[in-house]
Structures are given as C-alpha cells and as structure tokens.
Amino acid sequence: MAYVLGIDVSTTATKAVLVDERGAVRGIGVSEYDFVSPRPLWSEQEPRLWWDGAQAAIRSVLASAGVRGEDVAAIGLTGQMHGAVLLDAAGDVLRPAILWNDQRTSVECEVIRRAVGPERLVEITGNDALTGFTAPKLVWVRDHEPDVWRQIAHVLLPKDYVRLRLTGDYAVDVADGAGTLLFDLAARTWSQEVLAALEIDPEWLPPTFEGPAITGPVSGQAADATGLRAGTPVVAGGGDQAANGVGVGAVAAGTMALSLGTSGVVFAPTDRPIFDPFGRVHAFCHAVPGRWHLMSVMLSAAGSLRWFRDTLAPGVEFADLVAAAASVPAGSQGLLFLPYLSGERSPHPDPLARGAFVGLTLAHDRRHLTRAVLEGVAFGLRDGLDLMVAAGMPAPDQIRASGGGTASPLWRQILADVLDAEIATVNTTEGAAYGAGLLAAVGAGWYPDVESAAGALVVATPSARPGPDVALYAEAHDLYRGLYPALVPYFHRT
C-alpha cells in the first residue's frame, strides 16, 4: 500500500500524519518545542526547531506505523501562518522568526495604511493591516534592525523553511502567501504595488504555487535525515486554516467550517475573491486552485472556557463542568459573557478589548457562568459569520465543526441555535495535517482534484440542528452586540 504524509509545522509542535490510499490515518508522529517572548508582546521562534521537529516527527511516524520511506508517494506541508523567516543569500537564518501572535507592530500597521492607502490596501489584499500579518513584521525589521535588513535575500513563511530543508527549493503556496498582506488577492500572487510602497524587494519572495502543485523533490541530504526516499515529491500545501478547510471537506462554495480550539475560526470557501470593505474578516486564497475563502477569527474561544475552568473551577473536568451547565436554560437567565480575554480580531480588531460578565445577580451560580461562557463564544462566532454574509457569502445550512470544543454536545447545540445552522462533525480529527495529506494525494495523482479527494475521503455527520431556542438566542445576541460599544471607552482607558 502507498501512503501520503501531511506535515503540520505549528507554534508548539511539528506533527507528521501518515494517510493510506483509503484515507485512513495510519500513524501520527509529534515533536514538541516552545517559543519565546524576549520582550512584552513579542513572540519569536528559532527556525531550526521546526526542521528538528520535522525530522523527529517523520522518523517517529514511519517507525510506529512500520512503513518504509519508499512507500510514501508524496508529502504535503501546512503550518502556522503570517510568520517572518529572514534568510541571507546562503539560506542562513538572520534572526529568530517573528510569529503570528507577535504584537509589536501596531505602529507599523499605521505606516502600511499610510503608505498604500487604507481603502486601497483592502482592495488589493482583501485585508486591513493587523499586527499578526507578515508585512508589518518586515516593516518593523526595516525600521528597527537595519543591519538585518541589509542582509535579507529570502523571506519565507514557517512551513516553507521546512520545505527548503526538505527540498532545497524556495516556494510558497497561494493560501499562505495571501496571509502575508503582500498578495494581490484576485491575481493570486505578490502585489508589486504593495511591495513598492513598503520598499520590499520582490526578489526576496519565493515563487507561488497552488496547493496540490509539486514544488520539488526530497533531496538526498533530507532523505538521510528523515528516512524518506530521495525524490519523493513535495506539494505546496497550504496555511493551517486553508489546509484544515481541505481536511474537513470545506473546499467548494456553499460549505463552511468552524474550528473551535483555543481560538475560534469560521471558514467559508468562495468561488471569487470577496472581502469586507473594512477588513474586519480575512479574505485569503484557498489551497484549492481557483478558490478563495473568507475567515473570521476570535482569539479566545475554547480558550475562554479553559481560563474559566482554571480560574474558577480548578481540577474540575471540562465534561463535568459543561454537563452541569446543561441544567441552566438557554440565555443563562440574562447573564452575558464577552470573550475578549486576549483582545479581539473579528468583528472588533482591537487588542485592548477585554472580557466581562454582564448581568450577574444573586440567582446566578457557577452553572450559569459556565453556560454564559459557552454562549458568549457562540455569539462572538456569530458576529464573524454575519460579517462574512454581509460581504457576499451565502448564509450556511451546514457548518463542519472541528476542534476540542466541539466534543461537547451542549456546546454543539448552542452553536447550532446561535448560528442557525446544522452542525456536523467529520471522520478525522487531524485537521490541517490531514488536509495537507489530501493535497499530497492529489499531487501524487491519486485524485484528479481536491474536491474529488475530499468528497471521497471526508465524511460529515450531522450532530446538532437548530432547535426551539433560535429566536431566544437571536434576542440575546442583539444585547451582546451592544456590550462592546458600551464598554470600549473603559477598555481603552485602562
């Protein structure tokens, strides 16, 4: 039997997922590492950790599955988006990579808006300038580290540094490239207008490829390091959210995915480039050729429940905490929770936004607070969904959900009622890495296109449908939406 390998270069670990020709996951290898915060708001990582992690994860999954490197037909890459990996002419790393969750670049975002024009920036890239994107990081290096700036010959994204070490090739997929704020969204390649405005040399940037396209073969040196076969094709892959969309079958317009992990993401493929004119939701190229996607992001989704548990119910199992909340009626008896514990991105791109419980009375206990957290996260996801629909995306009938938060039947039902859509789960939990494997399967010729691969291998099963509480939640959401405007003066004062 032949296999494909999906490699996910995340912020805390590199994962290698081995997938067979039937679409079954035959093995998983993981190598963990950490990132550093050398100053407040900074987040950096040494690129060597990703390559070390990839070698260890690949060797681990091959050994645990009893599979030879010769039996791997192709490799797909995915990983954390928006990072800045700076290399000199020899391909050596010039400084630690600046990561997606680094917040040092608020001034540089304003510099970018002035240089390009705020409306023109969104027209070209589909996005406003936010601290998480790659472009503000490059402007920061330009203005704060001129010695590094003068030595730059190549700029890569994190997973593409692993590609470089695997194949010796500089390349990026269009989905990850679109997350740099340097892309022409409609043209699916680098924007010469934005690059010129920001004084970024186009020669620094790698060639762009569609997700299932082969970018190069595994080199002999990398084969020795990983146990793979030299010459094994490596496909372009996709940024983690686009690859996760492939992994849950959200590959065509009319399907939608929801990821409920530490952060919360609503993801919708589109057949044309559409965007919110104010940049409140993200518009990127999809890893599927000829497709784009809209994406809303909230920073503390299941992370809000973890904070609540760790702070107010330490030692209580999540399942027990949520089960108790099921005895509370929908609406938590008037209690509302704002999930802005880490600031917010959609619908309020505001790093100073803060969390809050509003409406507490003596009648409320821990069960009510727990349910209010579940409902508040769902309301935040609904905010992003509404922006996406307003931008031109059809309202969904079904949403394919993944992530740890979707293990809760109560939370799935709340999501179905608040989002007014059927919630479905899929037959794999490996998300982005599995999606990278499906892109590799297309690159290997197992399927003619990504839609065929996803249609054959991804099975969605309905798990919650909108119920009698839809109207009640619509009224509660209206109250919820009024809280941020009322509290933002306080957030910005403190």
- The one-character DSSP state at 334 is G
SS3 38: coil
Angle between helices 366-390 and 318-325 (to 10 degrees): 90
In 3D space, the residue among 236, 226, 220, 230 whose CA is nearest the CA of residue 156 turns out to be: 236
The one catalytic residue among 160, 240, 383, 417: 240
What is each CA distance from 169 to 74, 201, 208, 232, 235, in whole angstroms?
A: 16, 19, 12, 14, 11
CA triple 120-158-51, angle to 5 deg: 170
What is each CA distance from 272 to 120, 180, 257, 292, in whole angstroms?
A: 19, 19, 18, 6
First to last CA, the chain: 60
Exposure of 230 in the CB half-sphere (CA atoms within 13 A): 8
Q: CB-based contacts of 84: which residues, under 8 Å, 6+ apart? A: 97, 98, 134, 137, 138, 141, 155
Q: CB-based contacts of 214: which residues, under 8 Å, 6+ apart? A: 74, 233, 234, 235, 236, 443
Contact 167, 145 (CB under 8 A): no
Count of residues for the chain?
494
SS3 342: coil
Contact 227, 55 (CB under 8 A): no
Considering Cα of 276, then 106, then 78, then 170, what sign does the dihedral take? positive
In 3D space, the residue among 367, 485, 364, 467 whose CA is nearest the CA of residue 420 turns out to be: 467
Torsion angle of the four alpha carbons 376, 382, 383, 387, in this order, in degrees rounded to the nearest 10: 170
Report d(CA 33, CA 17) in Å as an integer. 18
Report d(CA 227, CA 112) in Å as an integer. 44
User: 240 an active-site residue?
Assistant: yes
In 3D space, the residue among 342, 393, 358, 350 whose CA is nearest the CA of residue 488 turns out to be: 350
In 3D space, the residue among 35, 34, 53, 54 whose CA is nearest the CA of residue 43 turns out to be: 35
- For tokens 């892959």, name the residue: 237
Active site residues: 240
